[in-house]
């Protein structure tokens, strides 16, 4: 079976299935220089669009596909839905639940990074930007603001004029996130609704410090059978 991966859930799912004797191929997009590799077979890089993925599924006699990509990986999600339909291969979407505000949170929901950038001047001048290295051009024109930009790999231009790059990857702790916010005198946090517990410590730290958070909503995905946990995905695969 094929796992479209790159997430912690995808790695966990691959490990669970390999332990049960399932032949698994995990596909990684190749956007991270040093990805954490799952158990089982691994391929890196694109398939060549819908046609290429449909052809790969047929050539490898694939029994099922689990799309366990990041909630914001729109293109591969759409390609997977169409390619599996053409190839007649069952598709499951493994989507970690999105974040929900709790008492004390000051969240501002937006539809995309452009909307997030437009909100910032009214919320604070020192920004902790944790939306990844894609799409940073949306913030490049905000010369009056200062940005702490955290991502796994170095981002390319254009970037905000006043910024500091922090190369790091989770999971993080509330204590470390609280210290980071305080040390850099952060006034507002920007994040995508990635969901899960891998990077949610920043939200709890912001809540404790009373900081506003700009949260980018998840993009719509094609309709597909969907589960929220690795255990449910394992059961689905084993019952195919």
Q: What is the pLDDT of residue 198?
A: 82
| 9 pLDDT more than 70 | yes
| CA distances, 81 to each of 77, 78, 89, 195, 207 (Å) | 6, 5, 10, 22, 37
Cα 50 from chain centre = 21
Per-residue pLDDT band at 34 (split at 50, 70, 90):
confident
CATH 3.40.50.720 positions along the chain are 2-97+219-238
Comparing 25-34, 77-86, 183-192, 198-207, the range with the smallest average pLDDT is 25-34
Whole-number mean pLDDT of the chain? 95
Six token digits for residue 15 = 């490990």
- Architecture category of domain 2-97+219-238 in CATH: 3-Layer(aba) Sandwich (3.40)
pLDDT in tens, 104-158: 999 999 999 999 999 999 999 999 999 999 899 999 999 999 999 999 999 999 9
Using DSSP, state whether 212 is helix, strand or coil: strand
Using DSSP, state whether 146 is helix, strand or coil: strand
Contacts of 158 (CB under 8 A, 6+ apart): 136, 137, 140
Mean of pLDDT values over 232-239: 96
Six token digits for residue 67 = 């799309």
Q: What is the Cα–Cα distance from 142 to 4, expressed in whole angstroms?
A: 36
Using DSSP, state whether 127 is helix, strand or coil: strand
| 71 pLDDT more than 90 | yes
CATH value of 106-216 in 3.40.50, 1.10.3470, 3.30.1380, 1.20.120: 3.40.50
Question: What is the percent of the chain where pLDDT is above 90?
Answer: 89
Greatest CA span in the chain, whole angstroms?
A: 56
Closest alpha carbon to 144 in 164, 166, 120, 128: 120
Phi/psi of residue 207, nearest 5 degrees: -65, -45
Per-residue pLDDT band at 36 (split at 50, 70, 90):
confident
Q: What is the Cα–Cα distance from 147 to 155, expressed in whole angstroms?
A: 13
Q: How many CB atoms lie within 10 A of CB 182?
A: 11
| 33 pLDDT more than 70 | no
Q: How many CB atoms lie within 10 A of CB 199?
A: 20
Beta bridge partner(s), residue 110: 216
Mean of pLDDT values over 22-30: 92
pLDDT in tens, 157-209: 999 999 999 999 888 999 999 999 999 999 999 999 999 888 899 999 999 99
| 31 pLDDT more than 90 | no
Q: What is the pLDDT of residue 23?
A: 96
Contacts of 59 (CB under 8 A, 6+ apart): none
Q: What is the DSSP letter of 209?
A: H
Mean of pLDDT values over 82-91: 97
């Amino acid at each position: 079976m094929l796992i479209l991966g790159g997430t912690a859930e995808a790695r966990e799912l691959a490990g669970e299935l390999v332990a049960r004797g399932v032949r698994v191929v995990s596909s990684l997009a190749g956007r991270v220089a040093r990805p954490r590799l799952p158990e089982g077979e691994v391929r890196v890089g694109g398939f060549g669009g819908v046609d290429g993925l449909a052809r790969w599924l047929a050539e490898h006699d694939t029994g099922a596909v689990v799309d366990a990509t990041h909630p914001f990986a729109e293109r591969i999600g759409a390609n997977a839905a169409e390619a599996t339909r053409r190839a007649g291969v069952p598709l499951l979407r493994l989507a970690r639940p999105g974040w929900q505000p709790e008492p004390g949170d000051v969240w501002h929901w937006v539809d995309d990074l452009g909307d997030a950038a437009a909100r910032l001047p009214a919320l604070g001048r020192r920004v902790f930007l944790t939306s990844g290295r894609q799409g940073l051009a949306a913030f490049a024109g905000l010369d009056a603001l200062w940005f702490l930009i955290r991502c796994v790999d170095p981002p390319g231009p254009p970037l905000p004029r006043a910024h500091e790059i922090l190369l790091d990857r989770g999971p993080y702790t509330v204590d470390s996130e609280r210290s980071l916010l305080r040390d850099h005198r952060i006034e507002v946090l920007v994040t995508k609704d990635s969901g899960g517990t891998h990077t949610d410590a920043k939200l709890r730290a912001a809540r404790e410090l009373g900081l506003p958070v700009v949260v980018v909503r998840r993009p719509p995905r094609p309709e597909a059978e969907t589960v929220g946990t690795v255990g449910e995905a394992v059961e689905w695969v084993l019952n195919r």
